[in-house]
A = this chain, B = another copy of it.
């Protein structure tokens, strides 16, 4: 189910700059019992991205109206529990000559809902297996952090393995620093301190990543954003990954190294659930 600029459609013009150049942004959002989770944070990141790419942002009213309409419509079918994935794409629309953007930008706004993926419950409790990818993430300070549509690196990295027992691949930048998973952010615990890659040169600043950092501060947990190499990660006490759909998944295996489901990881899962519930109560 897809809304393109407010109308139910399945297609976009070939001329759309999102298609021609990846000239746009997106958000992937959890919808739980019909409610978009951490919607304020997602819209905030989307707006920051629009600002950076000089794409006029859609109004909050329009976004909220269309999101609600789509979630309601999706959840009217009896087989639905109200859980689904919401995706927002904003592009610079059509026009311009080559890379040059048009003088007057008419952005394309696409809001779509997708079935909830239903990952095995095990992943959150028993942990997942991860690998190190060969495909590197490029370095570009201008585009670092934002969730833009230039995602070939992630596509190529995810194509590196077919083993269904491996759920995520970790990507390094060209200097060998760990940056992110193909679809997630990475955290590790060492001697009681939480570590995560700093994303000033590459990577996507995930919403759950931001919330984990906030939760760490609130709970007086030592946290450090910095660049580190694979060896540092491999010697961690606990490793976990985050994104808006999976929440927090502990990593039980990275290449040939095994890790326990650590107490800090489990504590953060509890805090994240509580934080989600607070936001939910606040929204009601």
Contacts and interface: CB of A to CB of B under 8 A. Distances in A.
B139 A139 contact: yes
Interface stretch (A67-75, A146-154, A211-219): A146-154
A156 interface: yes
A143 B139 CA distance: 13
Nearest to A173: B139
Interface string A45-82: 00000000110000000000000000000000000000
Contact of A21 (B9, B17, B53, B152): B152
A138 B135 contact: no
A112 interface: yes
Contacts of A138: 138-140, 143, 202
A182 B14 contact: no
Interface in A123-160: 135-143, 148-159
A13 B10 CA distance: 6
Contacts of A120: none
B21 A151 contact: yes
A159 B101 contact: yes
Question: In the complex, which of the residues A100, A152, A182 has the most CB atoms of chain B within 10 Å of its own CB atom?
Answer: A152
B14 A110 contact: yes
A135 to B, nearest CB: 6
A23 interface: yes
A225 to B, nearest CB: 20
Interface residues of A, number: 56
Contacts of A141: 136, 174
A101 B13 contact: no
A18 interface: yes
A18 B26 CA distance: 14
Contacts of A202: 138
B97 A117 contact: yes
A257 to B, nearest CB: 24
A22 interface: yes
30 contacts: A2-B14, A9-B14, A10-B13, A12-B19, A14-B112, A17-B155, A18-B19, A20-B149, A21-B151, A22-B22, A22-B150, A22-B151, A23-B155, A53-B152, A54-B159, A92-B155, A99-B155, A99-B158, A99-B182, A99-B183, A101-B155, A101-B158, A136-B142, A138-B139, A138-B140, A140-B174, A142-B156, A143-B153, A149-B152, A150-B151
The 3 residue pairs across chains A and B that have the minimum distance between CB atoms: A22-B22, A138-B138, A150-B150
Given A11-B13, A14-B110, 16 more contacts: A10-B13, A10-B15, A11-B12, A11-B14, A16-B19, A20-B89, A20-B149, A21-B151, A22-B152, A23-B155, A53-B156, A136-B141, A137-B140, A140-B174, A142-B156, A174-B201
